[in-house]
Every structure is written in structure tokens, then in C-alpha cells.
Amino acid sequence: MKNHLNYRIAKTKVMQWLVYLLAFLTVLPLVFILIYIVKAAIGAINWDFIVNIPKPVGEIGGGIANALLGTIIILFFATIIAVPIGILTGVYLSENKTGKLSYWVGMCVDVLQGIPSIVIGIIAYFWLVRPLGSFSAISGSIALAIMMLPIIIRSTEETLKLLPNSLKEAGYALGMPSHRVILRIIIPCGFSGILSGVMLAVARVAGETAPLLFTAFGNPFIETNLGKPMQTLPLLIFNYATSSYEEWQNLAWGASIVLLAMVLSFNLLTKLITRKWKIQL
């Protein structure tokens, strides 16, 4: 009897430690990745790296100015496109909880979220690159905007659904029309949730490469024309990492750490926003 009890206790202990072990083994790859990237990139990062464009093969130095600028431009336009549509759809879903159309809209948002990013790239190629006749930054922006939409829609919807009905009713009691109630009361009250959704969406797509392969395409020079191919950080990393020149690989390591810092700071900012301006009911 005692033996059996001891066995059970031992089993519990062993299993508990096994779970601890497995859970914390997951930390290791992340630590390895971070350490390796920092070690590989620390030599490459300096002011010249930020303000110069890549040098041709054989020359030492060069930087990622074109990719950094391209990433900012493409992300900026993707956000401008995705935010209004995303928030409006989110409002629609939170206002119409039942009904056939809202069921289908919700369903389509789920489908959109699951589409592999490479497929979005194909779509943007067919819808924009082909008709316009060349690879362009704007087609990349639209591809990224499509990927941002589901995240913005869902976070807007979830945030607005959390708001108490009394807020809305107070507005109606004062004689406000429903669109004003939404624009002046509901959206400002849920602002932090919506903003954090937008930030999260930006963070998610900032590192996307696959949708840009056949849209923004890449460009070794600084380009600010939206109708022309443009370089972005992920594209630069992909192209230069797989090249066989060490100088270019170092450039890719430097770009990796810049991209990583960008994505992580977006994530951190999202967290701070949600923590600081939590909806107070």
C-alpha cells in the first residue's frame, strides 16, 4: 500500500519536472537565435549602415538605407489602406451580431486570416502587377494591407463588443443618431483596443517576405516612387542571406537585427498601450 502511494507521488513529481523541462526547452532556440543574430550583427551596425545603400559585390561597406526607407513607405501605405476598411468592418461585425451577412463576413475574415502569405502574393501579382505592367511598391502595400485586415477587424470587433450597452444608451437618450454614437462615443472609448490591434497588425506584416516577392520585388537603389519596385528589409535579408558573398551576408545579418528590433518594439508598444489604457468600465 505504502509502496503504491510512493510510486504515485514519485510519478507526479517526475511528470511535473518533465513538463517544466519541456516548457523551458522552448526558450532555448529563441535565446540561441537572439544571441547569434546579435553576435553576427553587432560588427555590422553603425551610422553608415543606416544611411548608405548596399555596395556592389567586391566592395566593402554599404548599408540598408534603401530597404529601411522602403519598409517604412510600404508599411505606411499598407496601414493607410487597411485601417479605415478594417475599423469599419469591425464596427459592422460588432453592431450586427446576428444576421446572414454578418455571419458570412465573419467567416470571410476567418478565411482571410488563414490564407498563406505566399498566396496573397500571387493575388496581388494578378490584381496589380500584371495590369500595371511592372512590379511596384503599391502592390506590395496592398498585399500587406490584405494581411493586416483580419487582425484589425477582429481586435476592433472584440474591443467594441466589450463596451457596456449603457454607454450607447446614454448617447441615444441625448438624441444622438447612431452613427454619431459610434463615432463619438464607442470608437473613442475603445480607442486603445483598436490602436493596439493596428499596431499588432503592423508588427505581424513588417517581417513578411513572401507577399512581397512578386510585388515589391526589391531594388538595389533608393526608390520613393510607389509605382516602381522597392526594397524592403525582409526582401533584402532573403536575397542577401542566400547569396554567397560574405559581405552581403553580413549586410543581411545587420538588416536582421534592425528588422527584429523594429518588430519587437512594435510588439512591446502594443503591450504598453493595452496595459496603460485598459478600458475602464
Partner 1 sequence: MANEQKIGKTLRMIKGERMFKRSIRLSGILMVTLVLGIFITLFWGAFPSIQSLGFDFFKGKTWDPVQNVFGAYPFLVGTLLTSLVALMISIPFSVAIAIFLGEYFPNGWLSNFLRGTIELIAAVPSVIFGFWGFFVLVPIIRTFQVEMGIMPNGVGIFSAALVLAIMIIPYAASLGTSIIKMVPSDLKEGAYALGATRWEVLRNVILPYSKSGLFAGILLSLGRAVGETMAVTMVIGNANLLPESIFSPGNTMASVIANEFTEADHPLYLAALIEMGLFLFLVTFVINFIGKRIIKKTTNH
Q: How far is the CB of 55 from partner 1 (least distance, A)?
A: 20
* Cell 540561441 sits on residue: 32
Size of the site for partner 1 (CB under 8 A): 85
45-104: which residues touch partner 1 (CB under 8 A)?
85, 88-89, 91-93, 95-96, 101-102, 104
170-189: which residues touch partner 1 (CB under 8 A)?
177-180, 182-183
Nearest to 235 by CA among 221, 219, 248, 257: 219
* Interacting residues of 185 by C-beta distance below 8 A, sequence separation 6+: 167, 168, 170, 171, 176
* Partners of 230 in the β-ladder: 217
Distance of CA 18 to the CA centre of its chain: 34
Nearest to 120 by CA among 233, 254, 214: 214
Length of the chain: 281
Q: How far is the CB of 65 from partner 1 (least distance, A)?
A: 19
Q: How far is the CB of 54 from partner 1 (least distance, A)?
A: 16
**Integer Cα distance of 18 and 20 in angstroms:** 5
Q: How far is the CB of 226 from partner 1 (least distance, A)?
A: 20
Amino acid at 25: L
Taking CB under 8 A as the rule, does residue 158 contact partner 1? no
Which of these segments, 30-38, 50-58, 66-74, 162-170, binds partner 1 (CB under 8 A)? 30-38
Q: Which of 46, 50, 76, 113 binds partner 1 (CB under 8 A)?
A: 113
240-279: which residues touch partner 1 (CB under 8 A)?
241-242, 249, 252-253, 256, 259-260, 263-264, 267
Taking CB under 8 A as the rule, does residue 137 contact partner 1? no
Q: Which of 19, 80, 132, 261 binds partner 1 (CB under 8 A)?
A: 19
* Partners of 132 in the β-ladder: none
**Integer Cα distance of 240 and 51 in angstroms:** 18
Q: Which of 6, 18, 97, 225 binds partner 1 (CB under 8 A)?
A: 18
**How open is the CA angle 151-191-81, to the nearest 5 degrees?**
45
Smaller CB separation from partner 1, 9 or 224: 9
Q: How far is the CB of 266 from partner 1 (least distance, A)?
A: 8
Distance of CA 105 to the CA centre of its chain: 22
